[in-house]
Amino acid sequence: MSTAVQSTTAVETALEHSTLFRFATAGSVDDGKSTLVGRLLHDSKSVLADQLDAVARTSAERGFGGERGGLDLALLTDGLRAEREQGITIDVAYRYFATANRTFILADTPGHVQYTKNTVTGASTADAVVVLIDARKGVLEQTRRHLAVSRLLRVAHIIVAVNKIDLVDYSEAVFRDVEAQLKQAARELKVDEPAIIPVSALEGDNVVDRSAKTPWYNGPSLLETLEQLPALADLETDIEAFRFPVQTVIRPQGAVAPGLDAEGYRDYRGYAGQVAAGSIRVGDAVTVQPSGRETTVTGIDFAGQELVEAFAPQSVVLRLADDIDIARGDLLAEAGPAAALPQPTQDLYAALCWLSPKPLKEGSRLLIKHGSKTVQGLVRQVINKLDLSTFADQPASGLELNDIGTVHIRLAAPLPVDNYVNFRRTGAFLVIDPSDGNTLAAGLVESDHLELAAREDERYDI
């Protein structure tokens, strides 16, 4: 084992100067999401020459743009044959590009209602969501759903691109009407008003460069907005406590890779995983959940070297002072008052975004995957469902495809969950169909019910 203790200065410097920003697109079908993404890539000069030649050839073969011709920029992200044939996006397409100011990872997601699951997937790790609206149609039910999902996932920034402004003759009146609808929806959702930008993905207005065709709009272009917003990691660096889901226990007992000193690893015991939140230093006290035992970090290993400190989202191995029974799925948390620790509970109260055609009913048996641990669960109650027309909670006895609602799930074993409001990774989980392994829903632990869950004392088999 290497004894060279590596300063984390280089890591800190890299993180401080990181410009990585993740964003996802969302919107109804035919709102122009893929064209907008293609326009961003094209106008920011992030498309290779051979890719552009292929898009030009295909566009010409299909007569895109009529006699005037032009590039069907949606082809840059719609890679599947079925997507190109139908002119729709079916699966999430991730693209990477950079400007002089920032590096981006973008997720182009489908607009069809049946693919809302893909939108949730793309938005779940995003720093921002760009919601597209057709200027001719205004705010639709799917728009309200995407706004509600973005709020539920606590996406840091919501940007609304009012697209196809060229098809309404760059009308300020049309834009102001859509803007008023969006501000009303934001008030109903109790979220900050989003940045609202008039754009034409087809013509390139206000996408990368500001357009002279919208003199009544004085704000930044879409790309300028994306370059200026702080990433979620920057916002949370100083506020999140340490969280570390244990992925596996490393106990080689002398059986190590060729070239390593077997004697040096004979008594080695480490806990591997990814720092989900906060940071940890050698000498810090941690609490193991759900057992509640406390110990101290004696070493941090990373790629054959020792660190003095690790940050989210680094993947490292932690060595601890005491031989405590710790298994895959347990959670190491910063030691402190009980109220600040993740709460082990068998009664899970959470918001679900139901993503399966199979409806959810009270009494359903499910699998709950939290971090690297999976336990059985029983749906005891569907508490309410979000009415998208009013954004008010309504009584419900079940959830259908794309419904958003709050449920009470009884677990077969306690899970150390956090409040999603404070911890996005350890406050989230997946609901899995035990019969076929398919994902049924994305779940977010609700803060209002953690205290109630702590009072539950029923014990029965599931």
Which candidate, 68, 98, 103, 83, places its Cα nearest to that of 33?
Answer: 83
- 316 compared with 30, residue with greater pLDDT: 316
Which amino acid is present at 256? V
**Model confidence band, residue 14 (pLDDT cutoffs 50, 70, 90):** very low
Q: Token pair of 370, please?
A: 């939290």
Q: What is the pLDDT of residues 405-423, one digit of tens each?
A: 999 999 999 999 988 888 8
What tokens were used for 387?
């009415």
What was the pLDDT predicted at 362? 93
Percentage of the chain beyond pLDDT 70 is: 82
The CATH label, of 3.30.70.20, 2.40.30.10, 3.30.450.40, 3.40.50.300, for the domain at 344-458 is 2.40.30.10
The string over 84-98, giving b where at least 16 C-beta atoms fall within 10 Å of a residue's C-beta and e elsewhere, is: eeeebbeebbebebe
Contacts of 76 (CB under 8 A, 6+ apart): 34, 37, 38, 41, 42, 47, 51, 55, 95
Q: Indicate the domain borders of the chain.
A: 2-235, 238-340, 344-458
Choose between 460 and 333: higher pLDDT: 333
Q: Would you say the CATH fold of 238-340 matches that of 2-235?
A: no
Under DSSP, the state recorded for 73 is G
C-alpha distances out from residue 370 to 267, 298, 414, 442, Å: 30, 27, 11, 11
Q: DSSP labels for 218-264?
A: -S--HHHHHHHSPPHHHHHTTTPPPEEEEEEEE--TT---TTS-TGG
Q: What average pLDDT does the chain have?
A: 83
Q: Residues 240-255: pLDDT tens digits?
A: 789 999 999 988 766 6
Instruction: Give residue 3's pLDDT.
Output: 39
**pLDDT value of position 9:** 46
- 4 falls in which pLDDT band (50, 70, 90)? very low
Share of residues in the chain with pLDDT > 90 (%): 42
Mean pLDDT of 401-407: 90
* Position with higher pLDDT, 59 vs 357: 357
451 has a pLDDT exceeding 60: no
Q: pLDDT tens-digit profile of 212-233?
A: 999 999 999 999 999 999 887 6
79-88, 233-242, 395-404: range with lowest mean pLDDT: 79-88
Strand partners, 333: 243, 287
The rounded distance, in Å, linking the Cα atoms of 196 and 24 is: 16
CA 99 vs. chain centroid, Å, equals 23
Calculate the alpha carbon distances from 220 to 195, 229, 231 in Å. 10, 12, 18
Instruction: Using the predicted structure, report yes or no on whether residue 293 has a pLDDT greater than 50.
Output: yes
pLDDT score of 90 more than 80 = no
What is the dihedral angle through the alpha carbons of 258, 264, 267, 268, rounded to the nearest 10 degrees?
-70
> What confidence score (pLDDT) does residue 77 get?
67
**Superfamily grouping for domain 238-340:** Translation factors (2.40.30.10)
Of 3 and 354, more confident: 354
Q: Is the omega angle on the peptide bond into residue 290 within 30 degrees of 0, that is, cis? A: yes
pLDDT over threshold 80, residue 313: yes
Q: Say which range, 54-68, 142-156, 175-189, 265-279, has the weakest mean pLDDT.
A: 54-68
d(CA 109, CA 122): 7
Q: Bigger pLDDT: 208 or 336?
A: 208
pLDDT at residue 111 tops 70: no
Q: How many helices (H) and strands (E) does the chain have?
A: 10, 25
pLDDT value of residue 355:
87
DSSP notation for 311-355: ETT-EEEEEESS-----TT-EEEE---GGGS-EEEEEEEEEEEE-
- Predicted local confidence at residue 2, as pLDDT: 42
What SS3 state is found at 452?
Answer: helix
Give residue-wise pLDDT tens across range 359-379: 999 999 999 999 889 999 999
pLDDT tens per residue, range 33-59: 888 888 888 888 877 777 777 777 777
> What whole-number distance in Å separates Cα of residue 196 and Cα of residue 26?
14
What is the reported pLDDT for 237? 57
Decide which of 224 and 77 is more confident.
224
pLDDT for position 309? 93
| Rg from Cα positions in the chain | 25
CATH of domain 2-235: 3.40.50.300
- Neighbouring C-beta atoms of residue 58, cutoff 10 Å: 14
Question: Do the Cβ atoms of 289 and 344 come closer than 8 Å?
Answer: yes
449 — pLDDT class (breaks 50, 70, 90): low
The pLDDT of residue 83 is above 60: no
